[in-house]
Amino acid sequence: MKWFDYDKIENTIVLRTRNEGDYIEINDSAGRKKLKDYYIDQKIPRDERDIKLLVADGSHIMWVMGQGDRISEKYKVNDNTTNILLMKLINTEEY
């Protein structure tokens, strides 16, 4: 279960795999990082990188799911957040 600052979403949210040019904000000071570089830093196996599920707002990755799980700094809930989006990934094989 993840919480996001709803008011920072600029486009339609989609669940997808990676596209060229995707990026994620790692922290406030470092700015953004290409998703490819993030996967390398997190030691995500090369054969898993093209099938890994992502929640995206345009080319901005909101949530990297599974190994290397991370929420983009841009969408994290903070003291200034007024509207929250809750997302939960459910394993349908259990149902």
Number of domains the chain contains:
1
Q: How far is residue 62 from each of residues 21, 83, 94, 95, measured CA to CA in Å? A: 14, 16, 26, 27
Say which amino acid occupies 90. Answer: I
The pLDDT value recorded for residue 62 is: 96
Mean pLDDT of 81-85: 98
Ramachandran bin of 28, using left for φ above 0, alpha for ψ from -120 to 50, beta for the remaining angles: alpha
**What residue numbers bound the domain in which 38 lies?**
2-94
pTM: 0.86
Q: pLDDT tens digit string along 7-48?
A: 999 999 999 999 999 999 987 676 889 999 999 999 999 999
Strands 23-27 and 31-34, bridge-based pairing? antiparallel
Taking Cα atoms as reference points, which of 5, 41, 37 lies closest to residue 23?
37
